[in-house]
Amino acid sequence: MEPSYDLHTHSTASDGSLTPSELVHEAAAAGVTHIALSDHDTTEGLEDAKAAADAAGIRLIPAVEISATWMEKSVHVVGLAIDPAGALLQQGLAGLRTLRHERAEEMGRRLDKHGIPGAFEAAAALTPSGMVTRTHFARVIAAQGLAASVSDVFNRYLAQGKPGYVSTRWAELEQVVAWIHSAGGTAVVAHPQRYKLTASWMRRLLGEFKEMGGGALEVVAGAGYPQDIQAAASHARRFGLLASAGSDYHGPEQPWLRLGRLPPLPSDLTPVWSPWHE
Ligand code: AMP
Ligand code: MN
Ligand code: MN
Ligand code: MN
């Protein structure tokens, strides 16, 4: 079978809508041969995902998407091919989940003052894992008919500067890279186009990331628009970063994102999976 990689996905262990095993089955049905489950700040789904991948005959790459703060900006770093038993990594993730919980309670208080009562409790009820993300709030608020869609909720209530937004200091980028390395993984800057950085800020971020030992950049990210791929590819070349590819799939309610349906990486770049065997 042609190898097909999707190295950035979510399950119900964070803000995805499929369970880890449903996600892996979807991926296998879509022809994905190597899937990374990369939930936000948790590795809880990896065990079920591994069992499902073994049963389906595809490879599960254990991963996690870690929330970092760099220069007052939120940056997401995917740790690929990590050992989830890594103690330093797990300690770091546990700290982030505590921050997330406090942030979610504060979001609930702010939304309450803004005339949307009970949002924290309703969001928490959507997630048995206890991982309350902005996506859960968005689903609650959209279901109340206060906005046309989940993404409209972000624009009206949850994005920076909006009533439910709570600014949070996540882990330092350098720490995040160190946690990933301590668990034997490769650190990947996720979806670079999402940070709205100028080219010079992006160079600064990636230069520092490379110095910290960061290994790769998501060159094909999300829907994989050609102009985003071109921009990311030139950054990967400049900083000698490996290239990753991931859909950032969260479930079938975002039909424009499909598992494994990613444009190819520019052929001169070295894929992040090139050192992996099998
Ligand atoms: P959090 O990590 O709790 O701040 O939540 C961030 C998550 O919200 C991201 O991982 C996305 O899944 C989702 N998200 C962010 N912005 C949007 C948007 N404009 N529309 C839909 N989902 C979004
Ligand atoms: Mn998400
Ligand atoms: Mn992300
Ligand atoms: Mn993601």
Q: How far is CA 207 from CA 6, 108, 124, 156, 238, in A?
A: 26, 37, 38, 34, 9
**Atom 22 in ligand 1: residue holding the nearest Cα:** 151
Q: Give residues (CB < 6 A) around ligand 1.
A: 15, 40, 67, 133-135, 150-151, 154, 250
Q: How far is CA 2 from CA 33, 34, 58, in A?
A: 8, 11, 12
Distance separating alpha carbons of residues 270 and 274, to the nearest angstrom: 7
Examine the pLDDT at 188 and tell me if it is beyond 70: yes
Coil vs helix vs strand at 271: strand
Q: What's the confidence (pLDDT) of residue 1?
A: 77
Structure-derived torsion over alpha carbons of residues 61, 38, 251, 276, reported in degrees to the nearest 10: -20
Q: What's the confidence (pLDDT) of residue 277?
A: 74
Coil vs helix vs strand at 212: coil
pLDDT band at 278 (very low <50, low <70, confident <90, very high): low
Q: Which of 64, 83, 80, 182 is nearest to 131 (CA)?
A: 64
Determine the residue of 15, 17, 247 to mutate for testing ligand 1's pocket, defined as the one with the most ligand atoms within 8 A of the Cβ atom: 15
Q: Which protein residues have a CB closer than 5 Å to ligand 4 (ion)?
A: 65, 248
* pLDDT tens figures, 26-47: 999 999 999 999 999 999 999 9
The pLDDT of 181-201, averaged and rounded, is: 97
Coil vs helix vs strand at 177: helix
* pLDDT tens figures, 205-238: 999 999 999 999 999 999 999 999 999 999 999 9
| Ligand 2 center to 249 CA (angstroms) | 8
Q: State the DSSP code for 131.
A: -
- Residue 160, both tokens: 């920076």
Determine how β-strand 73-80 pairs with β-strand 5-6. Answer: unpaired
Number of neighbouring beta carbons within 10 Å of residue 155: 12
Q: What's the confidence (pLDDT) of residue 114?
A: 96
Determine the residue of 133, 169, 249, 257 to mutate for testing ligand 1's pocket, defined as the one with the most ligand atoms within 8 A of the Cβ atom: 133
* pLDDT tens figures, 10-26: 999 999 999 999 999 99
**Atom 14 in ligand 1: residue holding the nearest Cα:** 135
**Atom 3 in ligand 1: residue holding the nearest Cα:** 133
E strands, the chain, are 5-6, 34-37, 59-70, 73-80, 171-172, 186-189, 216-221, 242-246
Q: How far is CA 191 from CA 52, 141, 180, 188, 195, in A?
A: 27, 26, 18, 9, 8
Q: Of the bound ligands, which one is closest to the alpha carbon of residue 138?
A: 1
The C-alpha R_g of the chain, in whole angstroms, comes to 18
Determine how β-strand 171-172 pairs with β-strand 59-70. Answer: parallel
Share of the chain above pLDDT 90, in %: 97
Contact by Cβ (8 Å): 246, 220: yes
Q: Which atom of ligand 1 is nearest to the CA of 100?
A: 3
Q: What's the confidence (pLDDT) of residue 128?
A: 86
* pLDDT tens figures, 140-154: 999 999 999 999 999
- How many CA atoms lie less than 13 Å away from 232 in the CB half-sphere? 29
What's the predicted TM-score (pTM) here? Answer: 0.98
Q: How high is the mean pLDDT of the chain?
A: 97
Examine the pLDDT at 125 and tell me if it is beyond 90: yes
